[in-house]
Chain A
Amino acid sequence: MMSAYYVRQMAETWAATCTSPYYSTMNMEQDPSDEIWFTLEFDTYGYQKESFCDNWVETGSITLVFFGVAGVGWETLVQRAEQDTAIFRANKDASMKLVITGMDSPDEISAGDVPFYALSVTLDYEYRP
């Protein structure tokens, strides 16, 4: 399922503050030439009613997917993934509608190191419109 428009938009705003260049891959064909770059993936578990009035909360995850050069080891990309995840998480929604509630450890997702070496870090969120 797709995360709310607000969640995606806010996440892209936060992505722009990271060290690694961010490229949107949502219905976009990208072929970055950067040695390290990242994109975002979104998943949601749906909406849940929170009160007898019209209060709802959307829960889901934002995954930062980092890509690095193949064949040069793991240290650089892992360090950069950790640094940029910390920067991403440090951002706050001033309206408090979107809140990051949890984080997984980096996960290697590439099959070997061809054509990219890739890591992902998943952050859980709550969104109250």
Chain B
Amino acid sequence: MSMINTQGIAIYLQTADATPLDLVPTAISSTDPAVITVADATGLTEGDIVLFGTTGFDELNDKFFAVGSINTTNGTFTAIGADLTDTTGTLGASPTATIYTAADQVKLCLSAIDIAADSVNEIDVSTFCEVGTMAGKKTLGTLTLTGFCDPDDVAMGELQLADTDATMRFLEIVMPGTGNGYLIGRVTLSGLSYTVPIEGAVGFTMTGTQNKKLVWRY
């Protein structure tokens, strides 16, 4: 068994002023990874983020993936972690692939990030005859970002914007090394707070909700 050391991890957050590129897939292969054909793949870079919509494939719809290898001659790119080998879907009538490039992201220099899973509230349905519970309302998973304040870091400005605009953004955690993949999901950040020690570095903590659960793709 091997483990992934966190040295070299990179964390990216969608910017408030992101201007994604909308592409129309003309074909999507049932392979692992899926190969997406578009009219023009120039302008794409490995590592860009793609959000698929109404593709006809449940494995892709409303999900984020990282762009893998690109073939500008054929107009194709792969989506890392998109395994369609067992799919029963077919290309829909109005498929979309929204591309977020490096210009639409900012790198976060965090000291820690904690990701908590979804939870389900239990409803007590016990009677005098027997004890029992049933599943109640699902609570979305949360995350906590921790770091140090740097006014020269553009990411600090983005976090301050995120704290007030309540806008959903994608968050990507790229694992170091080759083939270790990435965690990606959609989050809403809020609750920016600061710690000011007597001596030391000013730090911040920020909480967020996983609107779309962070998933590890590789």
Using a CB–CB cutoff of 8 Å, the interface residues on chain A facing chain B are 50-53, 55, 57, 99-102, 126, 128
Contact = CB atoms under 8 A, between A and B. Distances in A.
5 contacts: A51-B148, A52-B9, A53-B109, A101-B199, A101-B200
Interface residues of B, number: 14
The 10 closest A-B pairs by CB, nearest first: A53-B109, A101-B199, A51-B109, A52-B9, A51-B111, A50-B111, A52-B110, A52-B11, A51-B110, A99-B199
B166 to A, nearest CB: 26
Nearest to A99: B199
Given A51-B147, A52-B11, A55-B148, A126 B6 contact: no
Contacts, number: 31
Contact of A128 (B6, B108, B147, B201): B201
B107 interface: yes
A62 to B, nearest CB: 14
Given A51-B147, A52-B11, A52-B111, 18 more contacts: A50-B148, A50-B201, A51-B110, A52-B9, A52-B10, A52-B108, A52-B109, A52-B110, A53-B107, A55-B148, A57-B201, A99-B199, A99-B200, A101-B199, A102-B199, A126-B199, A126-B201, A128-B201
Nearest to A128: B201
B100 to A, nearest CB: 20
A52 B108 CA distance: 8
A128 B110 CA distance: 16
B163 to A, nearest CB: 19
Contacts of A126: 199-201
Interface string B178-204: 000000000000000000000111000
Contacts of B147: 51
A51 B156 CA distance: 14
Contact of A55 (B9, B107, B109): B109
Highest count of chain B CB atoms <10 Å: which of A55, A57, A102 = A55
Contacts of A51: 109-111, 147-148
A55 B108 CA distance: 12
A100 B198 CA distance: 11
Nearest to A53: B109
